[in-house]
Structure 1
Amino acid sequence: MTLVHGQLLALAVSMFFGLVFTRLRPVLLFSGTAIALVLMQQLDVTRLLNLAANPAVISLLLLLLVSAGIEKTRLLAWLSQFLFRRSYAGTLVRMGAGTMVSSAFLNNTAVVAALMGRVNTNPDHAPSRLLLPLSYAAILGGTLTLVGTSTNLIVNSFLVEAGKPSLALFDFLPVGLVACSVGLVLLVLLSSWLPRHPRQAQQEDPYFIEAKLQPDSPLVGRSVQANGLRSLEGLFLAEVVRGQRLISPLSPDTVLEAGDKLVFCGDVRRVTVLQRFRGLTLFASAQGQLDRTLTEVIVSPTSAIVGQTLKSVEFRARFDAAVVAMRRRGERLSGKLGQIPIQAGDVLVLAVGQGFHHSRVSRNFFVIGNAQLSATLTPLQEWVAIGGFVSVLALSAFGAIELVAGLAVLLMLMITSGVLSGQDVRQRFPFEIWLIITGALAIADSVLQSGLALMASTWLHQLFNGQGVMVAFVGVYLVALILTELMTNNAAAALALPLALGLADAFGVSAMPFVMAVAYGASASFISPFSYQTNLMVMSLGDYRKRDYLRLGLPMSLAYSAAVLLTTPLFFPF
């Protein structure tokens, strides 16, 4: 091993530990690694720019922008009307199949976000019985086509850069259909394992609402009981923060003082009850935003505010929104609202200003309720968005046009026809995903060009030589699966694919089975709520715990893995 090999290996290991064991955002780690490669002269700037302009990468960026236009149509709302029936098994099958088909062509995060509200309000079945299957169905559906998930497009990017033929739109379909069928059957068979939380079970984790007592308030100098704060409808005065002192449990005879922070727990919809008390100012009311519709969001695991407090990130100035209430699954919050460290998965209720819906929001939150609605599209605009998208996919599937060219034309048509505005494009441009993929391609290219991938694959070939190529194939799949549960699906694909290509070359066999092993293994995000964004989106609304993901996700992962490992060599021979 040369010094160059040692430097690359140290850089790769450092990035892995950063992704798994630190709170650093993947975009910083991948971008920093790419910059380090340039500084170490392992990669020149021209090559880095060529990697960023990879046709498969540009296809992914265009697809995400076009998906923003599809989200504005009534397609998913129309679909949701046919998914729910009085029969639970019938609903599960309809919802699962409908979600899989939708996720095969649309952004699966958008699909889940569009259907979550309908699941939550359906009158026949508890949300906890449907939301986790909804997330799993979206993940499974993404494995059906090249455009179903960003993982498949990232894998295709690597192949193009390695000089391999590009994957076609439906190359993933045969194995994906088997995996989806097995997954759907398993969801029905194991549906009794899903928790049965009634809708009101969300009150086990009530919203945390803070109000400050102003010096001129008539409540000052009077007890909690005398002020009538013990008998509020839907709200409970849990504690008082006085300076650095926390008064809890709270006695009815506790006398309130000017500057006290009153912490209420309960139904956030009853927050207007507190406005009846003169001199009691809600945490969110300083800017007069409570007259607006409240917006409920979930904090993304990749959000820049995770681990920080509302005060330290200057939340109002940063997002043009004030936090009315906060909730954390499985934990009752305590202390000052502005000084509580934010965690991924926290639910915030926001009073939003006009500047709330911008790019920072989509990178930091999942909006799950009462979001500001986009303007209704005209029939012509609906036709441009849906008809244009279907046409591009069909023409690409038959080889009439390149996918990247078709998506570029469609995006221009959407902007010209008013389906998307220039502001929409700026807000939804996936800049962080672009940087992550470019960084991942930079790592893979350096590893391949330096000979480190050949060295590693030669060693593994010698290790697996006695067991045969099938053992190596299974090993590559397991590496991708474990990495996706520890990190994210995109990072798993980026780290596992160079190894897969090297092993295929070492064994002298087709690379396709190994490529598919990485793509399907990196999509197997079933066990952890944090391994895939749709899993996190349904966690709070479904009142799920980590053990719920393990209980259903482990057999799902085993069945999915068996289906993939048994069928991939049949459709993609060695």
Structure 2
Amino acid sequence: MPVDLNQVLVIGIFFITIGMLIFTDKRPSTVFAAAVLALILFGQISFFEVAHNLTNQGLLTLILLLLVSNAVDKTSLIKRLGRKLISPSFKTSYWRLFGLTFSASALLNNTAVVASLIGPISQNQHHPASRLLIPLSYSAILGGTVTLIGTSTNLIVDSFMIEQGHPGFQFWDFTLYGLIAGLSCGLLMFLLTPLLPAIETRKGQFHRYFIEAKVMEDSELIGKSVEDNHLRNLHELFLVEIVRDGRLLTPVTPDMIIMQNDKLIFSGNVQNVDSLGHIKGLKLFAETDGLLRDNLTEVIISNRAPIIGKTLKTLGFRALFDAAVVAIRRDGEELSGKLGEIKLQSGDFLLLATGQDFVQRHNLVKNFFILSELRIATKLNKKQEWITVGGFALTIVLAALSLIDLATGLVFFMAALVVSGVTTNGEVKRNVPLNLVIVIVGALSLATALQTSGVIGEMTQLLKPILSDVSPFIALLVVYLLTLMLTELVTNNAAAALMFPFALGLVQMLEVPLMPFALAVAFAASASFMSPYGYQTNLLVYNAANYQFKHFVKFGWLISLTYSSIVLMLLKYNYDF
């Protein structure tokens, strides 16, 4: 049989792509971009075929969903619940964590859910965070498999199916498998938690700013203790003092009762100040001036500044600079007392929420060196919260009932978010998941080359004598196990993208339905329970604690086995293999 040079080139590029994903530290987007360029260079695909893949419906749906998830993540919903997760009882804490993470990840981007909850768990005073962080990640992975939109992996496989002329997944196609496997593994994780190490959480590297917030008359904190208000579960923010009627209360004890008009003094990472904004009735010092926004300016007081030795209150700082002080940092000294009554010194760092006239003030140069801009999450008002949460719920319900196409619903919801000010055009541009788009377009292009060059057809012919007498379930099992192995070595999205073309080839050869094989690829690509590198949420918790690779293997292998066995048995039963 003569060697087809085109097929050799495509196969070579395919295996080089896998090799680079496994054995190098290059980003998947870089690897897939290089693969696309190589395919175009050697004439295996055209630029117009690559451009066509950019308009794939599944890909566009995924982009819209991720953009919407960024807006939903601004709401107080997950953050408020997250503060109340941890209790003195480990059993209660675990099931609260599992229930919230599993259910939220079924509808929201599971990476965003984990990112929101890492803080409260790492900061809790009752249990080692390392006993809860891996279960947090695995709960998110399991929850993401319950619906079409729970994880980007499902939508990637959906985009491949649509590209092949298949209608794609329905919203609930994953639910039976995801619920049974997820709840079973949730129970197993609880039983296996003694296997997790009790290690000290790595402390974040950040400058400690001094932050003041006032308890307003409508605050949910009033009449409850520091412990009951979960003020010790804030990510990288620590309640160090309370100022009450001019008196300084320190140290702050867990049983101390919060009262109206208390000034709560926090020390910590100012970029997490949005977690204070989500506590009802707690108003930041700068917020009273109506200036708090998503962009903050960091300045340092110069050595000859006229404001040295004066307090913010006596200066009339807002009128003087058209700026309000969000936080103060003084290297080498712990600050104490009310923010407005601290005497400013040369070298003090101020974090300012600035007005439109700030940059025009002529007195800036005499007082400050401007260092940088910091970005914090913008707090939504009640109307915006209702629009965001209600609009997202309505969009999902309409899509789940097949009353409207999911992509269409997300387009209109995205427009409503922009019009209502929940998000801005600038935020939309910044939040476009460019790396993920490159991975998916690259994988779609690679799949196109594998088919048009005849590689899939040749593979089918070679395997036909071997698999002609094999049951479809054995073929499905092979696809599942290969995808599972690949997802632990590379990433979930890359594994799904690389394995789908070969699953499709087996389907065509065996003349069986595509759906069970597509589900097998999607579920296996999400089953990253034995490596910190195979799934984004694993990497988040791996970096948040002093975990080692062995901790994931020791805790995860039985969960992986249980999850895979349940999914495969249900696929075999439902499709009568």
- TM-score normalised by L of structure 2: 0.70
CA distance in 1, matches of 2:503, 2:374: 43
Structure 1 residue matching 2:171: 3-state secondary structure? coil
Q: How does 1:523-542 map to 2 (within 5 A)?
A: 523-542=526-545
CA distance in 1, matches of 2:459, 2:371: 54
| 1:292 Cα offset (Å) | 4.9
Shift in alpha-carbon separation, 1:355–1:81, aligned structure 2, 3 A:
closer
CA distance in 2, matches of 1:461, 1:98: 47
493, 500, 504: which one pairs with 2:503? 500
CA distance in 2, matches of 1:354, 1:556: 46
Q: Report what 1:517 is aligned to.
A: 520
Q: Report what 1:180 is aligned to.
A: 182
Q: Report what 2:562 is aligned to.
A: 559
Q: Report what 2:144 is aligned to.
A: 142
Supply the RMSD in Å over aligned alpha carbons. Answer: 2.5
Structure 1 residue matching 2:50: 3-state secondary structure? helix
- Assess if the C-alpha contact under 8 Å between 1:84 and 1:122 holds in 2: yes
- Assess if the C-alpha contact under 8 Å between 2:157 and 2:518 holds in 1: yes
- Assess if the C-alpha contact under 8 Å between 2:111 and 2:536 holds in 1: yes
Amino acid at match of 2:11: L
Are residues 1:440 and 2:470 paired?
A: no
Count of aligned positions:
427
Structure 1 residue matching 2:332: 3-state secondary structure? helix
Amino acid at match of 1:99: T
| 1:423 Cα offset (Å) | 1.8
533, 542, 549: which one pairs with 2:552? 549
CA distance in 1, matches of 2:490, 2:553: 16
| 1:106 Cα offset (Å) | 0.8
Amino acid at match of 1:59: T
Q: How does 1:230-379 map to 2 (within 5 A)?
A: 272-273=331-332, 291-292=350-351, 354-357=372-375, 372=376, 374-379=377-382
Shift in alpha-carbon separation, 1:36–1:7, aligned structure 2, 3 A:
same
Structure 1 residue matching 2:380: 3-state secondary structure? coil
| 1:71 Cα offset (Å) | 0.7
470, 473, 482: which one pairs with 2:473? 470
Are residues 1:159 and 2:218 paired?
A: no
Structure 2 residue matching 1:273: 3-state secondary structure? coil
- Assess if the C-alpha contact under 8 Å between 2:331 and 2:348 holds in 1: no
CA distance in 2, matches of 1:37, 1:198: 48
| 1:162 Cα offset (Å) | 0.8
Q: How does 1:209-224 map to 2 (within 5 A)?
A: none
Q: Report what 2:30 is aligned to.
A: 28
Q: How does 1:366-445 map to 2 (within 5 A)?
A: 372=376, 374-445=377-448
1:537-565 Cα shifts (integer Å, max 9, x gaps):
11243321111111101111111111111
- Assess if the C-alpha contact under 8 Å between 1:144 and 1:176 holds in 2: yes
Amino acid at match of 1:272: D
Q: Report what 1:102 is aligned to.
A: 104
Amino acid at match of 2:34: G
| 1:198 Cα offset (Å) | 4.8
Moved more, 460-469 or 100-109: 460-469
Q: Report what 2:214 is aligned to.
A: none
- Assess if the C-alpha contact under 8 Å between 2:58 and 2:158 holds in 1: yes
Q: Percent identity?
A: 38
Q: Report what 1:132 is aligned to.
A: 134
CA distance in 2, matches of 1:208, 1:512: 48
CA distance in 2, matches of 1:208, 1:387: 36
Alignment gaps of 5+ in structure 1: 210-269, 277-287, 294-351, 358-371
Are residues 1:119 and 2:117 paired?
A: no
Amino acid at match of 1:62: L
- Assess if the C-alpha contact under 8 Å between 2:479 and 2:517 holds in 1: yes
Amino acid at match of 2:188: L
CA distance in 2, matches of 1:160, 1:356: 41
- Assess if the C-alpha contact under 8 Å between 2:532 and 2:552 holds in 1: yes
Moved more, 52-61 or 451-460: 451-460
| 1:463 Cα offset (Å) | 2.8
| 1:289 Cα offset (Å) | 9.3
- Assess if the C-alpha contact under 8 Å between 1:289 and 1:353 holds in 2: no
Are residues 1:77 and 2:79 paired?
A: yes
1:122-145 Cα shifts (integer Å, max 9, x gaps):
232221111110011011111111
- TM-score normalised by L of structure 1: 0.70
Shift in alpha-carbon separation, 1:105–1:113, aligned structure 2, 3 A:
same
Structure 1 residue matching 2:331: 3-state secondary structure? helix
- Assess if the C-alpha contact under 8 Å between 2:330 and 2:349 holds in 1: no
- Assess if the C-alpha contact under 8 Å between 2:67 and 2:432 holds in 1: yes
Q: Report what 2:487 is aligned to.
A: 484
Amino acid at match of 1:561: S
Shift in alpha-carbon separation, 1:541–1:29, aligned structure 2, 3 A:
closer
